[in-house]
Structure 1
Amino acid sequence: MSLQACIERLFTLNSHYLYPEQAFNQASSLQTLSDDLYTDPLRFVYELVQNADDASSTNLQIALIESGYLIVSHN
């Protein structure tokens, strides 16, 4: 396999959501990143609200669902 073909194959495997491995790799990467960045659980919530503020949002909604999910949405 040529180097170009190898690069194109890796790009396809890692950028299209057609392959279960891609979802696993992305979830694993996000978990590692969030573990390192947010040692304080409240910091993560602060960052979500700060993102809405940085985007000059006029409508911020925060909801905690019974199953333990936090939803932060803004326009």
Structure 2
Amino acid sequence: MPNRLWTHSEIDKLKSLAGTIPTAQIASEIGRPTSGVIMKAFELKLSLKLKPNQARSPANDPGPAGMDLTI
């Protein structure tokens, strides 16, 4: 089976979803195999690594309870 060329809308969707949801879910939404999504992300130099949730960011961590961390 010959490879199907990527459309602009598929590439745009990959760029917008990369790092926000798992790769398998991106593949399902785009209608491509997971391996194809990984290869296209590599070609576009996109990271598929999930970004940490902002709510769990160290900057939002209040620190240990009862300790004054001000300088």
Please classify the TM superposition score into its range, dividing by the shorter chain length.
Answer: under 0.3
**Higher strand residue share:** 1
Structure with greater proportional helix content:
1
TM-score of the superposed pair, with normalisation by structure 1: 0.24
Q: Which structure carries more relative contact order (alpha carbon 8 Å, separation 6+)?
A: 2
TM-score, normalisation: structure 2: 0.25
